Amino acid sequence: MVSELQAQTAIAARSAITFMGEPSCSSSTCHGGAGEKHNQFLTWSKLDFHSRAHATLTTARSARIADSLKIGNPVESANCTVCHSPLKSVAEKLHSTDSMRGVSCETCHGSAKNWLRSHTRPDWTHEDRVHAGMHDLKNLYVRANTCVSCHQNVNADLLQAGHPELIFELDGQAVTEPKHWREKSDWSGPQTWLVGQAVALREMSWQLSQEKSPAENAVNRWSALLWLLSATEGATGLLPANEFSSSNGLDIKNATSVQKWSDQLALKTAEAKWSAEWTRKCLNTLSGTAKMFRGKTPTRTIQARRAERLVLALDRLANGLNDEPAAKQLSPVIDRLFKDVQSLPDFDPAQFAGHLEEFQKSLPSLSESK
């Protein structure tokens, strides 16, 4: 049931979007003070790499990329600021400050005008804040959608000009970010990982569906993630098995269908009550794919891309066991698997398969110990 307050604030949120800028959050009585409950702005400004996203555009590398693309100063080009300083694209009438650089508070939490003065009120619930326009980042689906747009897809021309490839992995990237927030008590790393990977596949599928002649490398990365999630889906049963990955080719004609399927997977996973049993099933299922790296098909290039995604998955799933002895037991093998995919052109499928089998042999005792 929506309260009168929620209804009123929802109407206000839709009718008057205005960005207030980072200074509105930085006073010592708000998020710029001392102590755990008031130092969020200080954590972001001093430790979080997002605060330096704009500065990246002033480097020599950014200048070379911009020069190659003939787009002028990267600090001013929307090709670059869309992710490195996204609020720069906001129309002047929609913001009230000149401080709109970098990836700051409102980039992730939403335009603040309608909730800034009220979001700390003790009588406001989380739902009240969301209805006022604050992004519901406690919801893993919303969180993944907030982050993925700048952490997965890169336009082909930018890649050709020297921009690095991006791999979106919500759990690992959230864990390594200096925290200015408190996670929910029932937060699950493996669940966060799977939501993020499903959203990443959706975005990759959308991008490929828009291109007439997608690059082979982009198709290989897409097919590798589809392969991984198809295998994982069998372990959780959150959605019926898909029909897209029955062949080694993983036909790009299915991109639009995969886009819809992966979005549903992300939604279902975010809504589910994740269990430790699902984590162990995913680990057993994925580590049991060693034989797929011993055959002559698919190509070594595709095998390398699959291995790249697989290692990230095993790392986050193993971390999610919350079992210190198990983590110590698995860590050396995971390190070897990461080393196997460190240079994809030099990837050795047989060596990787051997290390993957070593990983799986460690898992039965883990299941027995739980």
- pLDDT tier for residue 114 given thresholds of 50, 70 and 90: confident
- Specify the 3-state DSSP secondary structure of 221: helix
pLDDT tens column, 316-349: 999 998 777 888 889 999 999 999 999 999 999 9
In a domain, 339, yes or no: no
Of 3-12, 87-96, 101-110, 351-360, which range is least confident? 3-12
In a domain, 81, yes or no: yes
pLDDT score at 15: 45
pLDDT score at 195: 97
In a domain, 67, yes or no: yes
Nearest to 188 by CA among 171, 205, 173: 171
pLDDT score at 117: 83
Evaluate if residue 13 carries a pLDDT over 50: no
In the numeric block, which tokens belong to residue 354?
């051997």
Evaluate if residue 353 carries a pLDDT over 90: yes
Nearest to 311 by CA among 330, 328, 298: 330
- pLDDT tier for residue 295 given thresholds of 50, 70 and 90: confident
pLDDT score at 127: 92
pLDDT tens column, 258-294: 999 999 999 999 999 999 999 999 999 999 999 999 9
In a domain, 279, yes or no: no
- Residue range of the domain that includes 37: 17-113
In this prediction, residues 21-35 reach a mean pLDDT of 80
How many structural domains are present in the chain?
Answer: 1
Query: Which DSSP state fits 74?
Result: T
Token pair 């911009």 is at which residue?
66
In a domain, 104, yes or no: yes
In this prediction, residues 301-306 reach a mean pLDDT of 96
In a domain, 71, yes or no: yes
Of 64-73, 219-228, 252-261, 304-313, which range is least confident? 252-261
In a domain, 343, yes or no: no
In the numeric block, which tokens belong to residue 270?
């975010």
Share of the chain above pLDDT 70, in %: 89
In a domain, 233, yes or no: no
